[in-house]
Amino acid sequence: MAGRAPASSSSSSAAPEFGIEGEEEFLYGAGSGWVEPRASCDHLASLSPDPLHIPIPDTPCSRCDHPDENWLCLCCKEVLCSRFVNKHMLHHYQQTNHCLALSFSDLSVWCFACDAYLDAEVISQLRPVHETAYILKFGEPPPFRAMEMRSTEESP
Ligand SMILES: [Zn+2]
Ligand SMILES: [Zn+2]
Ligand SMILES: [Zn+2]
């Protein structure tokens, strides 16, 4: 089927589409107990010694092939889906005790043993893998602590 739309400029009177519901739910900010990431963790000894060779962020879950927003085990570099999908990262932790995982959706690092997020920019052992993942995801190194820069626009 080669149904190509003609590229000629026909004066079609396309009615605007209404009814697009753009409700966005934000993870943070709705008073849902946002906690600061921890600046320390006692479980970093299980980190992979080679943080510079990791799968790309689009890697599917190795067990169920879930395509995105997976977690990278920072101990053995297996890519597994989140607790909101099939809980394969959580199962992996329960089976192997690999407690450190990096989210490919927002590059945050979670420690299952601490039951907390870790600050990958403060904890030096996490920094290399965080940077590597950032470069793989965005194609450029992360802006160190420069995220709060806001251009103060002059009001007229
Ligand atoms: Zn999975
Ligand atoms: Zn693992
Ligand atoms: Zn920990």
Domain ranges across the chain: 58-138
Q: Closest ligand to 109 CA?
A: 3
- β-partners of residue 73 are 101
Q: What span, in angstroms and rounded, lies between the C-alpha atoms of 94 and 80?
A: 13
User: 34 alpha carbon to ligand 2 midpoint, in Å?
Assistant: 26
Residue 2 pLDDT > 90, yes or no? no
Q: Which CATH architecture has domain 58-138?
A: 2-Layer Sandwich (3.30)
- The answer to which of 25-34, 37-46, 77-86, 127-136 has the lowest mean pLDDT is 25-34
User: 60 alpha carbon to ligand 1 midpoint, in Å?
Assistant: 8
Q: Around ion ligand 2, which residues have CB less than 5 A away? A: 73, 75-76, 78, 98
- Residue pLDDT, tens place only, 57-89: 999 999 999 999 999 999 999 999 999 999 999
Residue 46 pLDDT > 50, yes or no? yes
- Residue pLDDT, tens place only, 110-147: 999 999 999 999 999 999 999 999 999 999 998 865 44
Whole-number average pLDDT of the chain: 82
